[in-house]
Chain A
């Protein structure tokens, strides 16, 4: 029953996101095939997760779980339902002092069960002028533990204008999610060097747009 409700709500979300943004995936560096992957994306709005999720083909979507903030998604029952059941969220508490389990272990466990994951390595919504904030160490730690899995950079374009932080009504603007070529952590590669490389791979996907 819960699964059924989740799939209905999921379809509604997809329909709504498509109606507002005509969201489209641009598979530039990698094919949309059913293979275990870690999708990492820029994060500037609460609509980011629904959008990536919308543009993934259904077969890939079923195996994909989102790494999301427990303090946000467990705030009320509706959010908890969407976060847990619809997005199959791996909920992580961002406040270290409240944690009862190791977040990285939780994510690796999901990977070992065969799930692909979506993660926002900036660790929170970007409210700066810069298109990307420095990545948190999480992405590196996951990559170190499961180095064989493809890390796929995903650039979500325009979403910060569709629904700026603090706004409720979305503006219907077109949105493209660009999937880049996969990145892997190299042997002996230091944390900061890797995070910089992964971040640059994501930055490279930002479309050039005149002076705008």
Chain B
């Protein structure tokens, strides 16, 4: 790995993340040591489990980014696989859908990431919304069998929705490296770090601020998110957008606007996925990330924001 400007910038950001995590870990350990004398505290333990998962994610994510496009694309292909598995576990399906499920996992998912590797925008932005959308229901209807029309619309819609969220939208995160932006060179991996960082920090801010000063819930039936929390999250996103302008091809003001837009779409995404969870009677999508739940739980907001962020960037800054 040569030490390009992009890589040294990434390392700088990585160092900042590690700094934040060191502080978070220290706070947790001190709290644990203090409370240990009286009684084990579940909140502190949960918090520390989360911080440890964060260490793991930052570590993996950094390696992938430093390895360049191939690393990032591979990492997200596996994230997509884990997320799609979590999602389709909970959707309506019968034996007649076996072929279309097989095709979703073993054909469409890998193909989507190969198309991103090729940088074929025209293909990766249509594979799932057009080809999978039309062809998978045909597979389901041909597979047929007794009672194959039962819940047909629900089955094909839910499979398509899983593919859209877990594969199509998620793949727009690594797709950012394919963007051809004049005077931006090979710095696109920074744009991914920027998007993920701004949204995750906004989410954290929203969580803490919401707990302290939150009053008005925006979707009380499905989520504890409050207007106050979201406002604080958006403010932090704007601040970080300004601060991290150097990572992007945007002007300072545009960077603030992009950060806020990505964060707001992300909030919407986690509300939508919370509504689905609540309907299916589950708390988390999965169990693979200790303390955080599943991959869909972790990625929900970024996944919603990524395609919008990609296409807005491409429209205004693309070559």
Name A residues whose Cβ lies closer than 8 Å to a Cβ of B.
22, 24, 158, 161, 164, 167, 169, 171-175, 207-210, 212
Query: Which chain B residues border A169 with CB–CB below 8 Å?
Result: 102, 106
Residues of A within 8 A of B281 (CB): 207-210
Q: How far is the CB of A84 from chain B (nearest CB, A)?
A: 30
- Asked if B105 and A164 make an inter-chain contact with CB atoms under 8 angstroms apart, the answer reads no
Q: Does the CB pair B90–A172 fall under 8 Å?
A: no
State whether A171 and B98 are in contact (beta carbons under 8 Å apart), knowing that A22-B286, A22-B288 are contacts in the complex: yes
Is the pair A212, B91 in contact by a Cβ cutoff of 8 Å? yes
> Nearest-CB distance from B124 to chain A (Å)?
22
B residues at A contact (CB < 8 Å): 81-82, 85-86, 88-93, 95, 98, 101-102, 105-106, 279-282, 286-288
Q: Which of A24, A171, A174, A209 contacts B102 (CB 8 A)?
A: A171
Q: Which of A164, A171, A175 has the most CB of B within 10 A?
A: A171
Residues of chain B within 8 A of A158, CB atoms compared = 89
Using CB atoms, name the residue of chain B closest to A165.
B95
State in angstroms the CA–CA spacing of A164 and B94 once bound together: 9
CA distance A169 to B98 in the complex (A): 9
Q: With contacts A22-B288, A169-B102 known, is A212 near B85, CB below 8 A?
A: no
Query: Is there an interface contact between A171 and B101, defined as CB atoms closer than 8 Å?
Result: yes
Could you say which of B86, B105, B282 contacts A171, with CB atoms under 8 Å apart? Answer: B105
Q: Once the chains are docked, how many angstroms separate the CA of A158 from the CA of B81?
A: 17
Are A167 and B81 in contact (CB-based, < 8 A)? no
Q: Is the interface of B mostly helix, strand, loop or mixed?
A: helix
Contact B85 A172 (CB under 8 A): yes
A162 CB to closest chain B CB (Å) equals 9
The docked-state distance in angstroms from the alpha carbon of A161 to that of B85 is 12
Interchain nearest-CB distance for A26 vs B (Å) = 9
Task: Let me know if A172 and B105 touch, CB within 8 A.
Answer: yes
Given contacts A22-B288, A212-B280, 19 further A-B contacts (CB under 8 A): A22-B286, A22-B287, A161-B95, A161-B101, A164-B95, A164-B98, A169-B102, A169-B106, A171-B102, A172-B105, A173-B85, A173-B89, A174-B86, A174-B286, A175-B89, A207-B281, A208-B281, A209-B90, A210-B280
**What distance in Å separates the Cβ of B147 from its nearest Cβ neighbour in chain A?**
9
What are 20 A-B contacts with C-beta separation under 8 Å? A22-B286, A22-B287, A22-B288, A161-B95, A164-B95, A167-B95, A167-B98, A171-B98, A171-B101, A171-B105, A172-B85, A172-B105, A173-B85, A173-B88, A173-B89, A207-B281, A209-B280, A210-B279, A210-B281, A212-B91
- C-alpha gap A174/B88 in the complex (Å): 9
Q: Give Cα A172–Cα B88 distance, bound, in whole angstroms.
A: 9
CA separation between A173 and B84, bound complex, in Å?
8
Q: Chain A's nearest CB lies how many Å from the CB of B268?
A: 22
Chain B hits for A172, CB < 8 A:
81, 85, 105
Q: Which chain B residues border A208 with CB–CB below 8 Å?
A: 281
Contact A174 B98, CB 8 Å, known A24-B287, A209-B280, A210-B279:
no
Q: How far is the CA of A167 from the CA of B102 in the complex (A)?
A: 11
B286 nearest CB across to chain A (Å): 6
The CA of A174 and the CA of B288, in the complex, are separated in Å by 10
A173 to B91, CA, bound (A): 10
Contact of A212 with B105 in the complex, beta carbons under 8 Å: no
Query: Which residue on chain B has the smallest CB distance to residue A207?
Result: B281
**A127 — nearest CB in chain B belongs to which residue?**
B95
How far apart are the CA atoms of A173 and B166 in the complex, in Å? 14
* B168–chain A nearest beta-carbon distance, Å: 18
Which residues of chain B come closer than 8 Å to A175, judged between CB atoms?
89
Shortest CB-to-CB span from A174 to chain B, Å, is 4
Inter-chain contacts of B105 with A (CB < 8 A): 171-172
